[in-house]
């Protein structure tokens, strides 16, 4: 497993909000190690009578050992919340969506400066079946196993994880890198982690139209990956110039199309499924 393991001690920023409280309860039910929550002005309270709430991360760190954060605050407060987390922690998962691009650029620049790993924004998060989840994904569709999953799309992650699980193929970790034009860890960053991970034997890369992230992943796979990778690219029928779903899913000119991504991945030895349901058969061929 990568990013999330038994040593991950996480706090929730925005724990008392509607989304934060709902998903914190789900994460706790999945045995995720949530050790604190942050809501300014509500320090001293407890969430579900077990998770202490603090006014700031600095305050929390004086009392609790923490190394990760998951952010559920509204978009307009996300940059400040992310900066606070980056200043103190090693891993920050930003669930929030609709964060302005210039805010995301500042967040990523600061994270790079501080050597903090960012997942997101606009991500379903991370799940390591059997260990925990820092995110919003439904846990019943995942099972423990040895296939890593990387995706820009939450819904497609769920669909393909469900196909894998139903076929008896478990997952080591599934990571949603986020669907915005500017995100933290990208496909290559996560592929590097899976390549080094003893618990991962193969990887499913779920892409979509827009940008060149999948093409860059293909280059890395060709040059650096020893483990087999299979892929699915969403957006076969998308018209050029029209945004489809995610802010990052837009074709401009000849780049960012399903054809250009498929070509780059095929050249790297990656079989690309035409339908999500074909992923299981492609995996069985390479494992």
| Residue 284 CB burial class (10 angstroms; 0-12, 13-18, ≥19) | exposed
Question: In whole angstroms, what is the distance from residue 128 CA to residue 140 CA?
Answer: 12
Per the structure, the count of domains in the chain is: 2
Q: Tell me the CATH number at 106.
A: 3.40.50.720
With a cut of 60, say whether residue 214 has pLDDT above it: yes
Give the per-residue pLDDT at 235. Answer: 76
The pairing of beta strand 171-176 with beta strand 125-128: antiparallel
The alpha helices in 146-230, defined as continuous H runs, are: 154-166, 187-196, 213-224
Answer whether residue 75 is part of any domain: yes
Expressed as residue numbers, the domain containing 46 is 10-119
Answer whether residue 127 is part of any domain: no
Instruction: Select from 85, 119, 153 the last residue of a domain.
Output: 119
Residues 46 and 181 reside in one and the same domain: no
Residues 165 and 66 reside in one and the same domain: no
Residues 95 and 150 reside in one and the same domain: no
Question: In whole angstroms, what is the distance from residue 285 CA to residue 281 CA?
Answer: 6
CA dihedral angle for residue 77, residue 83, residue 148, residue 251, rounded to 10 degrees: 60
Answer whether residue 232 is part of any domain: yes
Instruction: Express each pLDDT in 231-267 by its tens digit.
Output: 999 876 556 555 555 555 455 555 678 888 999 999 9
Q: For this structure, is 23 an active site residue?
A: no
Give the per-residue pLDDT at 250. Answer: 52
Answer whether residue 129 is part of any domain: no
With a cut of 80, say whether residue 169 has pLDDT above it: yes
Q: Which helix (H) or strand (E) holds 80?
A: helix 75-88
Answer whether residue 70 is part of any domain: yes
Share of the chain above pLDDT 70, in %: 93
Give the per-residue pLDDT at 212. Answer: 85
With a cut of 70, say whether residue 9 has pLDDT above it: yes
Phi, psi values for residue 66, rounded to 5°: -135, 145
**3-state DSSP assignment of residue 163:** helix
Answer whether residue 229 is part of any domain: yes
Give the per-residue pLDDT at 208. Answer: 87
Q: Are 87 and 115 in contact (CB under 8 A)?
A: no
Give the per-residue pLDDT at 254. Answer: 59
Residues 177 and 271 reside in one and the same domain: yes
Rg of the chain (C-alpha set): 18
Give the per-residue pLDDT at 179. Answer: 86
Answer whether residue 130 is part of any domain: no
User: Which carries the bigger pLDDT value, residue 254 or residue 112?
Assistant: 112
Catalytic residue among 88, 98, 102, 246: 246
Residues 19 and 159 reside in one and the same domain: no
Average pLDDT, the chain: 93
Answer whether residue 168 is part of any domain: yes
- Average of per-residue pLDDT across 166-183: 95
Give the per-residue pLDDT at 257. Answer: 84
Residues 56 and 157 reside in one and the same domain: no
- Count other Cβ atoms within 10 Å, centred on residue 277: 12
Query: Tokens at residue 284, please?
Result: 């069985």
Question: In whole angstroms, what is the distance from residue 94 CA to residue 114 CA?
Answer: 16
């Amino acid at each position: 497993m990568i990013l999330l393991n038994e040593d991950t001690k996480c706090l929730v920023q925005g724990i008392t909000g509607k989304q934060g409280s709902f998903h914190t309860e789900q994460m706790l039910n999945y045995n995720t190690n949530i050790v604190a929550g942050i809501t300014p002005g509500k320090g001293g309270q407890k969430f579900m009578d077990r998770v202490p709430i603090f006014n700031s991360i600095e305050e929390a760190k004086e009392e609790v050992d923490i190394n990760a954060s998951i952010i559920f605050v509204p978009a307009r407060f996300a940059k400040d919340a992310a900066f606070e987390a980056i200043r103190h922690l090693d891993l920050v998962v930003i669930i929030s969506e609709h964060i302005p691009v210039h805010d995301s650029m500042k967040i990523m620049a600061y994270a790079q400066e501080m050597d903090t790993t960012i997942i997101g924004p606009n991500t379903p998060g991370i799940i390591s079946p059997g260990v925990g989840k820092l995110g919003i994904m439904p846990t019943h569709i995942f099972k423990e196993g040895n296939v890593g999953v990387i995706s820009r799309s939450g819904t497609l992650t769920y669909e393909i994880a469900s196909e894998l699980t139903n076929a008896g193929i478990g997952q080591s970790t599934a990571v949603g890198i986020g669907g915005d034009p500017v995100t933290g860890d990208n496909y290559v960053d996560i592929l590097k982690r899976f390549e080094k991970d003893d618990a991962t034997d193969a990887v499913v890369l779920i892409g979509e139209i827009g940008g060149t992230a999948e093409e860059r992943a293909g280059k890395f796979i060709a040059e650096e990956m020893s483990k087999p990778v299979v892929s699915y690219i969403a957006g076969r029928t998308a018209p050029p110039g029209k945004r489809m779903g995610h802010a990052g899913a837009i074709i401009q000119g000849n780049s960012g199309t399903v054809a250009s991504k498929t070509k780059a991945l095929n050249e790297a030895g990656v079989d690309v499924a035409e339908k999500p349901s074909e992923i299981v058969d492609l995996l069985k061929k390479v494992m």
